[in-house]
Amino acid sequence: MSSVILRTATRLLLPLLLVFSAFILLRGHNEPGGGFIGGLLSAGALSAYALAWGPAEARRVLRVDPRTLLGAGLLCVCAAAFAGIAAGREVLTGLWAPFEVPGLGKVSTVLLFDLGVHLGVVGATLSILFNLGED
Amino acid sequence: MTFLHVLMASLVVSMFLCLYRVMAGPTPADRTVSVDILGVLMVGFCAVLTAMTGRDVYMIVGVSWSLLSFVATLALAKHLEGRSFDD
């Protein structure tokens, strides 16, 4: 049984770190940052939560299986790769949407690729961590 | 030789003292605490770099480091107490 201070602190830090990882994911186009680092930040936040509350509770907070996140990430990466072929260009060509999404700016297949990397890193790290912690 | 340079040099000296404690520390608890202090010094180093260069990248590195530096200490403290991950 962990201490009350640790449990309260990790519960407050978890949403903060998830927002921060989304910020790092979105700024990582031309500047340092991106999907991989954002994914590692999310995984670090959830591993701190799992250290304080136990892996079973962390799985419940995550709501989906980490392997599902991994598969969704690979699907996003594949969709971003084959969007170029669907538009009649080469594989992995970056395509930008002609409209602007409020808060995000111009969305692109590059952002979809980064989102896939983010989900893949979170899924892989957390499935390793939870499986190591639960036996 | 500005104030920031002196600040940075003193941070680097403190980091080397911490690294010495990591190598020489007699107990695992000493090493854990000194690695934690190394993280705090690194956050200070990032803040000094932000003030020197004016780029916000270093500040973001410092913020993420300070938010996540406790995880390693937490895990090592739990290990030193002899408890498992899901205890």
How confident is the model over A100-110, as pLDDT tens digits? 887 777 788 88
Q: Do B74 and A24 touch (CB under 8 A)?
A: no
Structural domain including A51 reads 4-134
Whether B68 and A24 lie within 8 Å, measured CB to CB: no
Give the residue from A51, A125, A135 with the most B CB atoms within 10 Å of its CB, the best one to mutate: A51
Q: Which residue has the tokens 């991989």?
A: A36
For all residues of chain A together, what is the average pLDDT?
88
* ipTM > 0.90 (yes/no): no
A1 contact residues in B (CB cutoff 8 A):
87
Report the residue of chain B nearest A28, measured CA to CA.
B57
**Model confidence at A135, in pLDDT bands (50, 70, 90)?**
low
Tell me which H or E stretch contains B58: helix B57-80
pLDDT for B56: 85
**pLDDT of A53 over the 60 cut:** yes
Which of B49, B50, B68 would you mutate first to test chain A, the one with the most A CBs within 10 A?
B68
Tens of pLDDT along B60-76? 999 989 988 888 888 88
The helix or strand, by DSSP H or E, that contains position A96, with its residue range, turns out to be strand A96-101
Cα–Cα dist A50/A29, whole Å: 31
Q: What is the pLDDT of residue A133?
A: 79
Q: Are A42 and A21 in contact (CB under 8 A)?
A: yes
Q: Is the pLDDT of residue A1 over 70?
A: no
Number of domains in chain A: 1
Q: For chain A, list residues whose CB is within 8 angstroms of any CB belonging to chain B.
A: 1, 6, 13, 16-17, 20, 24, 31-33, 41, 44-45, 47-48, 50-52, 54-56, 132-134
Distance from CA of A85 to the nearest CA of B (A): 35
Report CB contact under 8 Å: B86, A134. yes
For residue A86, the model assigns a pLDDT of: 87
B85: nearest Cα among A124, A58, A82: A58
Among chain A residues, the shortest Cα distance to B79 is held by A51
pLDDT band, residue B41 (cuts 50/70/90): very high
Mean pLDDT of A48-74: 91
